A = this chain, B = another copy of it.
Amino acid sequence: MDITFVKIGGSVITDIEKPNSARIDVIDRILSEIARSRSSSRLLIGHGSGSFAHVPAHKYKVNQGLIDGNSMKGAAITQNVAARLHRIILDRCNENGIEALSFAPSSSAVSNKGRIETWNIAPIIEAMNRGFLPVTYGDVVMDSKQGVAIASTEEVFRYLAMHLMPKRIIIGTDVDGVYTSDPKKDPDAKLIEAINESNIAHIIKESARGSTKIDVTGGMKGKVSNLYSIAMETGAECFIVNANVTGNLYKAISGKECKGTKISK
């Protein structure tokens, strides 16, 4: 059976305005969509950190590594806070009767300047083969060059995709996909339904220039670039969909028609 990776964005499952607040009702609704679609493919779930780890990660500049006397403390705190949201997800899986197992990148992976280099993924493969739902997340990992680094869920998916060759990668965010400009500011903003070799260069170029024409800002810009790399390297079809819209994740995982942006090679 095909493998599908599903990311649940941190901005979906936490209240971004309020540190350390998980949206339990949203998590439960998303888990029920995931449970419903498990028969269509073998799933691996990853989730972001939202208002949990992003706060200390930013404060202690964890992505830069061990740079000063507070860096070790910052790494320890950030790893712990990321794990706290992760445990909430696992708690909800158990409460909802989903046989999920946790796989923390920090326990098994080592990166090189934030790019994962070694990771024993044998337990994840064994878990998938036995029918468990593996759940991983963006995490603070040990780094051979800078001491510690942040491995985002996208980076975690990149490494896992190279080894597990998923057919589809679904990225559940709080927007409908990639737009030609910021839909919150520009009434003429249009959803880009497909990104592939025919338009990726244009999109990256426009956003690199800071053009308002194609507003692939911040997180979304990095996502598009990362997902296109994964698509190129593994052949996976990647979909950015709005996980705040009930049913979207179910449809996307099941291969049904769903509003969003498809990124493929």
Q: Determine, out of A12-20, A99-107, A174-182, the stretch whose residues face the partner at the interface.
A: A99-107
Chain B hits for A83, CB < 8 A: 87, 90, 102
| Any B CB within 8 A of the CB of A64 | no
Kindly state the separation between the CA atoms of A84 and B105 in the bound complex, as whole angstroms.
Answer: 18
Kindly state the separation between the CA atoms of A142 and B107 in the bound complex, as whole angstroms.
Answer: 15
Kindly state the separation between the CA atoms of A34 and B94 in the bound complex, as whole angstroms.
Answer: 34
| CB under 8 Å from chain B, chain A span 97-142 | 97-110, 118-120, 122-123, 126-127, 130-132, 141-142
Kindly state the separation between the CA atoms of A107 and B134 in the bound complex, as whole angstroms.
Answer: 10
| Any B CB within 8 A of the CB of A66 | yes
| Any B CB within 8 A of the CB of A229 | no
Contact partner, A123, options B66, B76, B91, B107, Cβ 8 Å: B107
Given A119-B120, A120-B119, A122-B118: A101 in contact with B106 (beta carbons within 8 A): yes
Chain B hits for A220, CB < 8 A: none
| Any B CB within 8 A of the CB of A166 | no
Copies in the complex: 2
Residue count of chain A within 8 Å CB distance of chain B = 45
Contact partner, A141, options B73, B100, B123, B142, Cβ 8 Å: B123
Chain B hits for A127, CB < 8 A: 142
Chain B hits for A76, CB < 8 A: 93-94, 98-101, 132
B110 & A123 in contact (Cβ 8 Å cutoff): yes
Kindly state the separation between the CA atoms of A120 and B131 in the bound complex, as whole angstroms.
Answer: 23
| Any B CB within 8 A of the CB of A147 | yes
Cβ of A72 to closest chain B Cβ, rounded Å: 4
Given A79-B102, A107-B103, A123-B142: A130 in contact with B147 (beta carbons within 8 A): yes
Known: A83-B102, A127-B142, A130-B148. 6 other contacts (CB 8 A): A76-B94, A107-B107, A107-B123, A119-B120, A120-B120, A130-B147
Q: Which residues of A pack against B, CB within 8 Å?
A: 66, 72-73, 75-77, 79-80, 83-84, 87, 90-91, 93-94, 97-110, 118-120, 122-123, 126-127, 130-132, 141-144, 147-148
Top 3 A-B pairs, shortest CB-CB distance: A120-B120, A108-B108, A107-B107
